[in-house]
């Protein structure tokens, strides 16, 4: 009398040639094609640096909309007296928080940049005036060979629902200065939504402490010969809370920075033109 082992539902039933039968859903081993340089672009990692001073009420709107392409979010807290940090941790438990080393937005950004580990760094305000959904537009240009990508409110597709008359005039005047001094044709200047390759962080040689850091970044990017692109960006009104910017005093600091850092100026930070 022959006996048959009871069939094991885990085991595939053998085929006449002794091999297990392939079922639909089984993974097929595909021969892997050889990867050549330039075939498949590797995905670059992205750090988002967010300076925040008393922005607890705005953080939820901002953090909820950060796209999945961002790998790391760094919140640089400027000794907020509200629940900025607690709110950030509540909305995004993986957020990395760093404490800035001195006063001002410039100091906060430099602290955040130094802590970032991604291939690309994106900087964005915490007040809800910049829509996180635009981040992929910046990354698109970096992925396609640009080194420094800045938002522009003054090209088709961009705009501002926040610029007051005095700020708009100031921005246009400072823009004229930068275009003359640096022989360029940028369309916007005092706007802090930017992205750049982290490998160029040293080349940007940032020293500013206040709002003039945005102008310093652009001035040094131009002087270093970085490939700069502008993407349209819509600036929204800050969602709640008070502005930290003083249009006249900060405008003067931007002007001083642009003049001091102009090509050929003795006081300018040494920038390694043509090193790349």
Q: Which is nearer to Mg ion, 100 or 160 (CB)?
A: 160
- Does 53 interact with ligand GTP (rule: CB under 6 A)? yes
Pair of tokens at residue 189: 């200047």
Rounded Cα gap, residues 138 and 172, in angstroms: 23
Piece of the chain touching ligand GTP by CB under 6 A; list 144-152, 181-189, 239-247, 265-273: 239-247
Dist CA 209 CA 215 (whole Å): 12
Quick check: 219 binds ligand GTP (CB under 6 A)?
no
Query: Does 151 participate in binding ligand GTP (rule CB under 6 A)?
Result: no
Span 65-124, contacts to ligand GTP by CB under 6 A: 76-78, 100, 103-105, 108
C-alpha to C-alpha distance for 134 and 48, rounded to whole angstroms:
12
Contact at 8 Å (CB) between 109 and 195?
no
129 binds Mg ion, rule: CB under 5 A: yes
Query: Minimum Å distance from CB 127 to Mg ion?
Result: 4
Rule CB under 6 A: choose which of 110, 197, 223, 244 binds ligand GTP: 244
Closer CB to Mg ion, 235 or 261, in the complex:
235
Spell out where 138-251 has E strands.
148-152, 159-160, 194-197, 228-232, 234-235
Q: Does 51 bind ligand GTP (CB under 6 A)?
A: yes
| C-alpha closest to that of 74 among 64, 83, 82, 85 | 85
Angle between helices 105-115 and 213-223 (to 10 degrees): 60
Return the structure tokens found at 270: 């040494």
Measured in whole angstroms, the distance separating CA 244 from the mean position of its chain's CA atoms is: 21
Of 53-61, 92-100, 129-137, 212-220: span binding Mg ion (CB under 5 A)? 129-137
Interacting partner of 132 out of ligand GTP, Mg ion, none (Cβ under 5 to 8 A depending on kind): none
User: Which of 19, 46, 58 shows the shortest CA–CA distance to 242?
Assistant: 58
Nearer of residues 223 and 238 to Mg ion, judged by Cβ: 238
Chain residues in the site for Mg ion (CB under 5 A): 125, 127, 129, 238
Chain residues in the site for ligand GTP (CB under 6 A): 51-53, 55, 76-78, 100, 103-105, 108, 125-127, 129, 162, 238, 243-245
């Amino acid at each position: 009398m022959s006996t048959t082992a009871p069939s094991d539902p885990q085991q595939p039933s053998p085929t006449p040639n002794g091999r297990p039968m392939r079922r639909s859903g089984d993974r097929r081993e595909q021969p892997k094609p050889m990867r050549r340089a330039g075939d498949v672009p590797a995905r670059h990692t992205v750090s988002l640096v967010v300076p925040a001073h008393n922005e607890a009420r705005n953080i939820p709107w901002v953090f909820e909309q950060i796209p999945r392409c961002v790998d790391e979010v760094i919140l640089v807290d400027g000794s907020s007296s509200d629940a900025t940090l607690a709110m950030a941790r509540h909305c995004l438990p993986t957020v990395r928080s760093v404490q800035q080393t001195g006063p001002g937005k410039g100091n906060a950004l430099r602290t955040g940049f130094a802590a970032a580990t991604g291939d690309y760094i994106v900087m964005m305000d915490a007040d809800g005036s910049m829509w996180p959904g635009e981040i992929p537009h910046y990354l698109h240009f970096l992925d396609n060979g640009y080194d420094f990508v800045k938002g522009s409110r003054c090209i088709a597709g961009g705009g501002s629902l926040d610029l007051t008359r005095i700020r708009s005039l100031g921005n246009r005047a400072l823009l004229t200065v930068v275009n003359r001094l640096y022989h360029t044709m940028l369309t916007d200047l005092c706007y802090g939504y930017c992205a750049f390759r982290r490998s160029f962080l040293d080349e940007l040689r940032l020293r500013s402490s206040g709002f003039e850091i945005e102008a310093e970044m652009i001035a040094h990017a131009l002087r270093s010969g970085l490939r700069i692109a502008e993407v349209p960006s819509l600036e929204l009104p800050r969602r709640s809370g008070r502005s930290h910017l003083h249009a006249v005093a900060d405008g003067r600091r931007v002007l001083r920075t642009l003049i001091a850092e102009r090509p050929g100026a003795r006081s300018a930070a040494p920038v390694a033109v043509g090193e790349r």
